[in-house]
Amino acid sequence: MFRGKPLLKYGLAAGIAGGTLLSLHGNQYQLDSIGIVRLSRAAFTVFQIGVIYKKDLYGKHLDKSSKEYSELKSICHTRSAQKLLQLCCTNKGVYIKVGQHIAALDYLLPSEYVDTMKVLHCRAPTNKIEDVYKVIKEDVKKDPFEIFDTIEPEPIGTASLAQVHKATLKDGSVVAVKVQHPYVQGNAKVDMKTMEYLVKLMSIVFPEFKFQWLIDESKKNIPQELNFAQEGRNAEKMAKMFENIDWLHIPRVRWDLTTPRVLTMDFVEGGQVNDLKYIQENYIDPREVCDKIGKLYSRMIFLHGFVHSDPHPGNILVKRNKKGQCDIILLDHGLYATLKENFRVEYANLWLSILNRDRTAMRSHSKNLGIEGNAYGLFTCMIAGRTWDSIQRGIDREQFSKSEKKFMKQAFTGILPQVSEILQNVDPQMLLILKTNDLVRSIEHTLRAGTGMGSFCVMSQCCVKSVYNQKYTNSQTKIEKIKVSLAEFWALLKIRVYYMFLSFRQISFFS
């Protein structure tokens, strides 16, 4: 029994498998013997997780406010997360992608799950080189060695949906070839349908949590990420959008060797953004790295509304340029959030209210993004990744400390139902933004740099430009447009003066 709801012992796994089979049949999804094994494996894993909580936590009838209950719950979370990790590594493909999504949800899910699943960002499964050759031959319609002079058998990177190999073309050009795992396309629809049923089952175990948003996002995003031709188009759009930024590099797509399952791009050297040893050995300033990433994402979100939404460390490289400064190399352009103008402006206004410590505006703009009542306080904490006290004191005035990070993890663990409610109700466009924010903050934490004054200044400027651009577009007369332009100029001037003052005060303090 889970929270008073009876479940038959082994009928649980069989029932969900049977229900999924009927649904898949009704939707004309292809389900072979391998699919049935994967489905049954997933159902049995959820059954095992349910037993862990039923037997070792709920069955103890402990006081939920007691230290013993808290410690036991943490143990159950860890054991269950390990079961889930094992399932992701065994079933691969979409399961690893969803596991990576879970790993990005700092403060939104129990830390035991987040920390356990983080290994999936760097330890995805690898296919044999023969499987890689097969996919290339099927999609490009040529034998790989008609195309490549050499192709390294060991991948230089592996991910949930593909792996990347360094290769040399017949003309001597060095390229990176991203090849989709051969089993992914065939299993994706079945896997997503299975996961949808598993989430419904988990809602029986945890009736106060709402995880449907995670499945809805995955169902929407996975087809995008499976189309490598679309990824190539995203890369070219991003390169065109930021062509005036000399420190940002996006490898050029080789369209003659690109298909929906094969993506070929120029090979670019660099170290992973979280590789502290590489950064130190190459005399790269971690603060410069974080500052540039912060500026880049502010422009993406608030000005362009086209946001690279998978900035985990494997997808961002850094290198020292000839000027002795840091270049950023952005990889994996499969997942982008395209933000509608009204959402982008509301989000910009919300950030301005956070930076201005304006509680009335925070409540108003949170409501416009789908968050009603006093939940706006928790929502703004999720957006900023800071405590309410820090927001009230000014997040641009003090750095994010280890003690604050520890406090947030502990605090959010105790209010997961409320967090889950927010994720269920917020504008769906916000879900990828939250994930992106957490991944960027994770990079800052790894580099021990934090968000600098330069990043806050640029973000504030981008927010103001976003808000006033809409006002300018909606202006009916030349006089109105002039007034809006002057108001924008004044707002931007105040921001520059304010952050110059903060920087001067900070320099004076440390002098």
Instruction: Cite the DSSP H helix spans in 57-93.
Output: 67-91
Residue 370: which residues within 8 A CB-CB, separation 6 or more? Answer: 425, 426, 427, 430
Name the 3-class secondary structure at 149.
strand
Name the 3-class secondary structure at 148.
strand
- Residues 358-374: b if buried by 16+ CB within 10 A, e if exposed: ebeebbebbeebbbeee
Name the 3-class secondary structure at 157.
strand
What is the C-alpha R_g of the chain?
24
Q: What is the DSSP letter of 160?
A: S
Q: How many CB atoms lie within 10 A of CB 246?
A: 11
CA–CA–CA angle 99, 193, 138 (5° rounding) = 80
User: Do 222 and 94 touch, CB atoms closer than 8 A?
Assistant: yes
Whose CA is closest to 397, among 506, 298, 494, 497? 506
Overall size of the chain counted in residues:
511
Q: Which residues pair with 162 in a beta bridge?
A: 180
Q: Got the DSSP string for 127-157?
A: --HHHHHHHHHHHHSS-HHHHEEEE-SS-SE
Q: Of the residues 106, 275, 291, 310, which is catalytic? A: 310
The H or E element that residue 384 is part of is: helix 375-384
Pull the structure tokens for residue 82: 């390990």
Q: How many CB atoms lie within 10 A of CB 327?
A: 20
Pull the structure tokens for residue 281: 């050995």
Clarify whether 171 is annotated catalytic: no
How far is it, in rounded angstroms, from Cα 495 to Cα 489?
Answer: 10
Please identify every residue annotated as catalytic.
Answer: 310
